[in-house]
Amino acid sequence: MLILFDFPANRILALTNYSKLHNHLEHLEKTRGKGKWVFASHSHQRVLSFYRYVRAQKLLVLPTTSAIFERSLEEALKQAEKSNTAVKEGSKNFDILEIVDGKNPVLIPVTPDVDVEALQKQWCQNYCKAHGYALYEVSSPADFKEPGGEDDQAS
């Protein structure tokens, strides 16, 4: 269980896992309309289509760098797709994680060795720290005692 002290909103939230915390933080980010913090999964087809569209619109500033980026992205996708074929049939399609921590966008191919849950947990912890939230992991609400509360006993 996670306990989140949302000091800016003057409230305390109890969440069962990091996935629910991520959903809450994502909602806050969308409500603010900033979109500077992102943790999202995209299909490789979507990423390539978007990139090719942006490139075709000549919105990118450095064409030589963008061509190198596109080739390396396509190569990474091809390699990841090959390694993903070894995964048993019926599994989820190959995805790409988009992680933005307020300033640095990162694309990570999701392969069997990538721990998506650990990356999501780290993103949530970084978000909370950057936005002035206090986050605590507890095994149950009863394990969380407020300092100076009546649960504290002097020995």
Q: Is 148 within a domain?
A: no
DSSP 140: S
- Radius of gyration of the CA atoms of the chain, in A: 20
Q: Is 128 within a domain?
A: yes
How far is Cα 100 from Cα 121, in angstroms, rounded to an integer?
A: 14
- Mean pLDDT for 53-75 is 60
How far is Cα 82 from Cα 109, in angstroms, rounded to an integer?
A: 12
Q: Is 91 within a domain?
A: yes
Q: Is 38 within a domain?
A: yes
Q: Is 18 within a domain?
A: yes
Residue 32 binned pLDDT confidence (cut-offs 50, 70, 90): confident
Domain around 19:
2-143
Provide the CB-side half-sphere exposure for 65 (13 A, CA). Answer: 4
Q: So what's the pLDDT on residue 118? A: 95
Q: Is 99 within a domain?
A: yes
Domain count, the chain: 1
- Mean pLDDT for 141-154 is 49
Q: Is 151 within a domain?
A: no
Q: Is 8 within a domain?
A: yes
Strand partners, 11: 6
Record the tokens describing residue 3, joined without a space: 């306990």
pLDDT for 25 beyond 80: yes
Q: So what's the pLDDT on residue 124? A: 95
Question: What's the pLDDT tens digit per position in 78-122?
Answer: 665 666 544 434 445 567 888 888 877 787 888 888 899 999 999
Q: So what's the pLDDT on residue 87? A: 44
pLDDT for 23 beyond 90: yes
How far is Cα 134 from Cα 120, in angstroms, rounded to an integer?
A: 17
Taking residue 62's Cβ as centre, other Cβ atoms within 10 Å add up to: 9
pTM of the predicted model as reported, rounded to 2 decimal places: 0.67
Return the residue matching tokens 């095994």: 139
Residue 70 binned pLDDT confidence (cut-offs 50, 70, 90): low
Residue 66 binned pLDDT confidence (cut-offs 50, 70, 90): low
pLDDT for 19 beyond 90: yes
Cβ distance 87 to 80 under 8 Å? no
Percent of the chain with pLDDT over 70: 61
119 closest CA partner among 134, 106, 130: 106
Cβ distance 95 to 116 under 8 Å? no
